[in-house]
Amino acid sequence: DRFWFSISDLDILLWAQGIALGMKLDVKIFEPDIWPLAVQGPKAEDVVVAVFGEAVRKTKFFRFDNLEFMGHKFLVARSGWSAQGGFEIYVDDAVIGVQLYDALAKAGKQFDIGPGCPNLIERIEAGLMTYGSDITRADTPLEAAMEQYVSLDADIDAIGLDAIRAVAKRGIDRRVCGLTIDGPKVPANRNPWPVKVGGKQIGSVTSAVWSPRLETNVALGQLAIGYTPVGTKVLVQTPAGEFSAQVSPVPFDGATKK
């Protein structure tokens, strides 16, 4: 059997090696030479179909297929860091990978395709969290507001499940939530900003940006339980000063994760 992990956690290799050593597993753990190539946006499916064929349309969200280009099979997943939907192609051949890039660029020319990077505004509007900023290794899925992805009653021997059950039993003391911050455009959020109520710090803003579409500042942060209900009024201390804010539902006003 072969298992392939592809996540935004640089420690995954050490974690897997530690599990293998601790459980005395007969496994080989290595980092493959793979380069992810993401095609994201509302026209992503049409672009990828032009290169890999109609089979792409059958790939479900967060699933993958091995599809052929120039006689080489690529793992193509319907995933990515975008609220608009898209695909991630895992390139394991540098030479054909360049040709694949050129083919995608040609197929997307009619849509004004171009090189890009994760969009901070879209990410925050959609509530897509960054590991290391919005959530860390100190958080369980419960603090991260991802409890819908955890089955506490599952009859399986999963690493960490007992710990999550213990957290659920005693209750969490903080939780990720969305906020809208009043005032002018906030500066870059390079460090957590204190969130206060009545002069007492009750959490922090971990990601923030001005949303032109919503005409307000949108943010993600962690707040103490008791201050997380939608509509709760708070104050956010930014480098540009202190501004009023309120807890808001995530995703923000129509931004959807497809």
Tell me, yes or no, whether 134 lies in a domain.
yes
Per-residue model confidence (pLDDT) at position 185: 96
199 shares a domain with 145: yes
Per-residue model confidence (pLDDT) at position 258: 47
Supply the angle between the helices 44-52 and 94-107 in degrees, to the nearest 10: 120
128 shares a domain with 174: yes
Give 41-103 as a DSSP string: STTHHHHHHHHH-GGGGGPPTT-EEEEEETTEEEEEES--S-SS-EEEEEE--HHHHHHHHHH
Per-residue model confidence (pLDDT) at position 5: 87
Looking up residue 65, the CATH number of its domain turns out to be 3.30.1360.120
102 shares a domain with 192: no
Tell me how many domains the chain contains. 2
Per-residue model confidence (pLDDT) at position 64: 97
Q: Pick from 239, 123, 141: which is nearest to 190 by CA? A: 239
Per-residue model confidence (pLDDT) at position 254: 57
- Backbone phi, psi, residue 42, to 5°: -65, -20
Kindly give the parts of the chain with pLDDT less than 70. Answer: 254-258
Mark 144-179 as b/e (b = at least 16 C-beta within 10 Å): bbebeebeeeeeeeeeeeeebeebeeeebebbbbbb
pLDDT tens-digit map of 69-102 = 999 999 999 998 888 889 999 999 999 999 999 9
Per-residue model confidence (pLDDT) at position 157: 86
- Backbone phi, psi, residue 96, to 5°: -70, -30
Structure pTM?
Answer: 0.85
Residue 28 in tokens: 């080989």
Final residue of a structural domain among 78, 94, 118: 118
Per-residue model confidence (pLDDT) at position 16: 92
Tell me, yes or no, whether 85 lies in a domain.
yes
Per-residue model confidence (pLDDT) at position 172: 97
Final residue of a structural domain among 118, 137, 152: 118
Tell me, yes or no, whether 135 lies in a domain.
yes
In terms of residue numbers, what domain contains 235?
124-248
Q: What residue has token string 């540009």?
A: 240
| Element (DSSP H or E) covering residue 174 | strand 174-181
